[in-house]
Amino acid sequence: MNSKLAFCILFSLVCYQAVSQDLGSLKKEKWVKFSGGVSATANFYNMQGIEPRRVPFSWITTGNVTATIKGVSLPFYFTYSEQERSIRQPFNQFGVSPTYKWMKFHLGYRNVSFSKYVLDGHIFLGGGAEINPGKLRLGFVYGRFLKGINEDTSKSIVLSTTQFPFAAYDRYGYGIKLGVGTELNYFDLVYFKAKDRVKSNQPLPKTQYTQPAENAVLGFKSKFTFFKNHLIFNLDGGISLLTRNILSDSILMGNETVKKFDFIITPNLSTTINYAGQTSLDFKSKFFGTGIKYERVMPDYRSMGIYYMQTDLERQTVNANFNLLKNRILVTGSAGLEHDNLAHKKEAETRRKIYSANVNINPKPIYGLMLQYMNYGLTQFKGVKSISDTTRLNQVTSGFVVIPRYTLIKKNGVHNFIIAYTNQTLNDKNLFNSQNFNFTVENINASYSGSLQKPEISMDASIFNTKSTYSIGNTVNTGLSAGVGKAYLKKKLNTNGSVTFSYNQFNGKTDGNTLQMRLAANYLIKKKQRLNANLNYTINKAKNNVVSKSFNELQAFIMYSITF
Average pLDDT over residues 224-234: 95
Is the separation of the CB atoms in 486 and 503 below 8 Å?
Answer: no
246-268, pLDDT tens digit by residue? 888 777 555 555 566 666 888 88
Q: pLDDT at residue 109 above 90?
A: no
Closest of 152, 102, 148, 144 to residue 127, by C-alpha: 144
**SS3 assignment, position 369:** strand
Confidence class of residue 281 from pLDDT cuts 50, 70 and 90? very high
Average pLDDT over residues 439-454: 93
Peptide bond into 455 cis (omega under 30): yes
Q: pLDDT at residue 201 above 70?
A: no
Greatest mean pLDDT among 16-30, 390-404, 480-494 lies in 480-494
> Tell me, what's the pLDDT at 142?
97
Confidence class of residue 516 from pLDDT cuts 50, 70 and 90? very high
Q: pLDDT at residue 157 above 50?
A: no
> Tell me, what's the pLDDT at 198?
84
Confidence class of residue 23 from pLDDT cuts 50, 70 and 90? very low
Spell 226-258 as b/e; 16+ CB within 10 A means b: eeeeeebebebbbbbbbbbbbeeeeeeeeeeee
- Confirm whether pTM is higher than 0.85: no
Is the separation of the CB atoms in 160 and 180 below 8 Å?
Answer: no
Confidence class of residue 62 from pLDDT cuts 50, 70 and 90? confident
The more confident residue out of 27 and 367 is 367
Q: pLDDT at residue 238 above 60?
A: yes
328: left (phi over 0), alpha (psi -120 to 50) or beta: alpha
Closest of 217, 222, 212 to residue 187, by C-alpha: 222
Average pLDDT over residues 414-442: 84
> Tell me, what's the pLDDT at 88?
33
Cα–Cα distance for residue pair 474/478, rounded to 1 Å: 13
Q: pLDDT at residue 204 above 70?
A: no
Confidence class of residue 389 from pLDDT cuts 50, 70 and 90? low
